[in-house]
Amino acid sequence: MKSVFHKITSFTMALLVLLSTFSFSVAQHYCGDVLVDYSFLGHAESCGMEVQETAELPECNLVKADCCSDEVLTVDGQNDLKVSFEKLSFEQQQFVALFIYTYLNLYEGLPENIVPFSDYPPPLLVKDIQILDQIFLI
């Protein structure tokens, strides 16, 4: 049960770090108050109702107000996750170095398996205790 909980917690924390560093933008095109198009990857397509200036009649300067608008929502991710080792104080650097050293040497095994009682013979049995107590392994 502990192993499953540990795996779920690790996966959740990794997903949280991934989502906190992920940045994206959403482009939206509105025609009036109505959302016409949106895009996560690029520019949203327009509805084709933009105001075009006519070059035929330069003396006529009638320009309609544009009813379309574009909005871009940007969510910036976190960029400063890596803490530099040089920013730590000397005591903190010592603690990190010693922690890593002791953690790595914690799982280092001995060169040979030492059995302290290998030179001694087992004790002599005067009576068979299992038969006396009638304890039998099934």
In Å, how far are 76, 102, 105 from 110, measured between CA atoms? 51, 15, 11
Give the tens place of pLDDT for each residue, 76-135: 877 766 667 678 889 988 999 999 998 888 776 767 888 888 888 888 888 888 888 888
Please give the mean pLDDT across all residues of the chain: 81
Contact present, 72 and 28 (Cβ < 8 Å): yes
**23 CB contacts (<8 Å, ≥6 apart)?**
74, 75, 76, 77
**From CA 36, how far away is CA 43, in angstroms rounded?**
13
